[in-house]
Amino acid sequence: MLKNKSRIIAILTLIVLALTIPIVRAENETPEEVTSPTTEVINEKAPDGVTNPEVDPEQTTNPGTTTTTDDNTFKKNDVYLSGDNVTVDYIVDGNLFIVANHVTINSQIGGDAFICANSITIGEQGYIFSNLFAFSKDIHIAGVVYDLYAATRNVTITGYVYRDVHVGANTVNIFGTVGRNAFVDCATFNLVENTQENAESKQGSINGNLKYSANSEASIPEGSVSGETNFNLQNAFNQNVVTEKIMNLGTFVITIVAVWLVCLWLAPKFLKNTTTLLTSKKVLPVIGLGILTPIVAILATVLFFVLGITAPLSLLLILISIILMAISTAIFSITLNQIICKKLKIEKTLGIFGMLVVCSIFLWLIGLIPFVGSVLGLIVVILGLGIIVSSLVLKKE
């Protein structure tokens, strides 16, 4: 009984340190038996007029079959990479996570790509079948991306973005094609490349709407934007917004790390046990507890007031509920990092700390995405709250 009370006190102490938001991962993946993306799938997502990178017939299988391929030509499931210069020239049948200095993609990525780097290049043979989430100084897209979400200094698109572009940057150059809408916040926006005299200029096209803010209105050639064009003038690129975002990211990462350190100090067994709570057998009870806990807390508080039970007890319940909600994202992030480190066999504290920082940055970036970030944030809060309550309430097996 005393142990349980000590655990509760430790967790509540940890709880007081919180603020919140979401997280993700980065690492190397060992390819195994994989199912290659079929030509039908590639053609299904291919934008009109775009030549898809061909899949080697030897790498392509019929639906329902698998092929064992060389490590350098095909990798199964999610891939996690880091380093100075990272070049991806093999097919990835899953999501791609990269933290590096310079990143080049010259192959097909079957899922989303999450990249944090100094420079990012999607080559002409690069084909990202889903979203590209990028945090970088310079981005150049010569290949194909399904959706682009980027925070960068300069971005140049000479290839094709199949659907929407969401970019915050200093300079945005769209000399290729955007299949749907473009939402741009920048200092300088260009749809026509400035070239030397007698040279053929490159002109971009947007098949949907264009909404952008810049220091001055850009030259928009007739017919280059199929939908509506909405321009907002800003006197200068809003450095305050960038500074605010950086401060938010720093606060988020520091909060996650602080909560992790407190857990490591006061409740190491809690950290160890949380990795088992997101398994297929236990995740449903965790979700259930995450949803029910705030509902029960609200009902209990209302009942206490109606029955005239001591106001301090009601206020304490409200305070505890708020604190638990606040720390839930951090707890989920830490749990996710524990699972990733266990999978990647990272056991040293310094390695776990580094992975936690990387995960925090990626989850924070995902949280910036309109709608997707809100939905993910809600899911993370529910799971984090469920993990806390499960750890405190459920008996050990």
Domain assignments of the chain as residue spans, ordered by start: 2-23+239-393, 171-236
Alpha helices in the chain (DSSP H): 2-15, 39-45, 239-266, 268-274, 283-307, 311-343, 349-367, 372-393
Nearest to 21 by CA among 248, 179, 175: 248
As a whole number of angstroms, the distance between CA 61 and CA 67 comes to 7
Note the maximum CA span of the chain: 85
Q: Which of 238-247, 282-291, 387-396 has the largest mean confidence?
A: 282-291
- What 3-state DSSP class applies to 88? strand
Higher pLDDT, 313 or 268: 268
Nearest to 161 by CA among 189, 192, 183, 193: 183
Q: What is the DSSP letter of 56?
A: P
Confidence of residue 344 (pLDDT cuts 50, 70, 90): confident
Query: Is the pTM value of this prediction over 0.85?
Result: no
Rounded average pLDDT over 275-292 = 76
How many CB atoms lie under 10 A from the CB of residue 125? 16
Instruction: State the pLDDT at residue 195.
Output: 58
Is residue 218 scored above 50 in pLDDT? yes
Higher pLDDT, 81 or 368: 81
User: Beta strand pairing status for 127-141 and 205-206?
Assistant: unpaired
Instruction: State the chain's mean pLDDT as an integer.
Output: 75
As a whole number of angstroms, the distance between CA 40 and CA 42 comes to 5
Contact present, 126 and 96 (Cβ < 8 Å): no
Is residue 158 scored above 60 in pLDDT? yes
Higher pLDDT, 280 or 7: 280
Nearest to 334 by CA among 62, 15, 4: 15
Contact present, 204 and 186 (Cβ < 8 Å): no
Q: Tell me the per-residue pLDDT of 293-318, one tens digit each, with 9 for 90 and over.
A: 888 877 877 777 666 666 566 677 77
Rounded average pLDDT over 78-89 = 88
Distances (CA, A) of 78 to 112, 341, 372, 389: 9, 15, 20, 30
Output the six-digit token pair for 127.
């084909």
Contact present, 149 and 166 (Cβ < 8 Å): yes
Question: At residue 293, what is the residue type?
Answer: T
As a whole number of angstroms, the distance between CA 14 and CA 317 comes to 17
Is residue 155 scored above 80 in pLDDT? yes
As a whole number of angstroms, the distance between CA 330 and CA 363 comes to 11
